[in-house]
Structure 1
Amino acid sequence: MPNQIQQLIQEHNMILFDAQCVLCSAWADFMIKHDHQTQFKLVSVQSQLGQQILRKYQFPTDHFETMILLEKGQLYTESTAFLRIMQRLDFPYSSLKYGKLLPKKLRDFAYRRIALNRYRLFGKTEHCYVVGSDVESHFLLDEKLK
């Protein structure tokens, strides 16, 4: 299975997100709505695939502090991941790429304040994000591992 994971990582641009976080699930909905060309595949960190990717890159598998972007195997986190994703979407979202002009320490500080308080600020659900057949093309599901 490690070769299969590596192949998926090389073939797809992936966004790993916390599917129990209300804010993160809203982020997934945003990506489905605005990633018209399906440039990115969403992967729940709670899924088997998500867990294996977290282990591969030595991230904790039981608590999640950052969104992870994998672009053809290259790893990005925190504000850099967010800005790289936004720059590939249509205007006006692509204009957020200019956020890279801010110092990374400042951007990541702001990102961490939201990420570390997201459950308190936005809530947490008991159930993971439900992927319907109408949006399935935006996700890499565990079935890809079989």
Structure 2
Amino acid sequence: MSNLLIFDGDCLFCNRIALFLAKSDKQNRFKFTPHTSSISQKILKENHLEEVIAQTVVVKIDRQFYFKSEAVYHFLKTAQLFPWLRFLIYLTPRVIANVIYDFIARRRKKIVKSCPTPDTYIREKFV
């Protein structure tokens, strides 16, 4: 499994974003897994990243791991999605992009109140 997005499975906002990205990833370049799954736990432990997931999304591309705004950028780049957003993140200094990421991350559980139900095709992308 070379390309993987690990997200906070306890957060409805994160689940919705992961579902949206899975639907948008038409070329099936990524698999998606909540941070509580056995697969993500194993990967995070093997790479000494168990503590990181509480603070950020983790994107694994081949053997490289990315976090926060850099994870968003590399996901969008690899999945070839939303070039305008990718360009905006690229132009924004990482410190500022991470401040914006952290601002949203701190409020993410208050943003969404209900849980989406993915169709069968999309569920197959989640491991």
**TM-score tier after normalising by the smaller chain length:** 0.7 to 0.9
Aligned length: 126
Q: 1:123 to 1:58 in 2, by over 3 A?
A: farther
Equivalent position of 2:84 in the other structure: 95
The code of the aligned residue for 1:100 comes to Y
RMSD, aligned CA:
2.6
CA deviations over 1:60-91 (Å, ceiling 9, x no partner): 36962100000001010100110111234456
Equivalent position of 2:37 in the other structure: 47
Equivalent position of 1:31 in the other structure: 21
TM-score, scaled to structure 1:
0.73
Aligned-pair identity (%): 23
5 Å-filtered alignment, 1:57-96, equals 57-60=47-50, 64-89=54-79, 93-96=82-85
Larger Rg: 1
Q: 1:124 to 1:77 in 2, by over 3 A?
A: farther
Q: CA–CA distance in 1 between the matches of 2:74 and 2:83?
A: 9
Q: Secondary structure at the match of 1:135?
A: helix
Equivalent position of 2:122 in the other structure: 135
Asked whether the equivalents of residues 13 and 70 of structure 1 are also in contact (C-alpha less than 8 Å), the reply is yes
TM-score, scaled to structure 2:
0.83
Aligned-pair CA distance for 1:124 = 8.5
Aligned-pair CA distance for 1:97 = 1.8
Instruction: Name stretches of at least 5 consecutive residues in structure 2 with no aligned partner.
Output: none
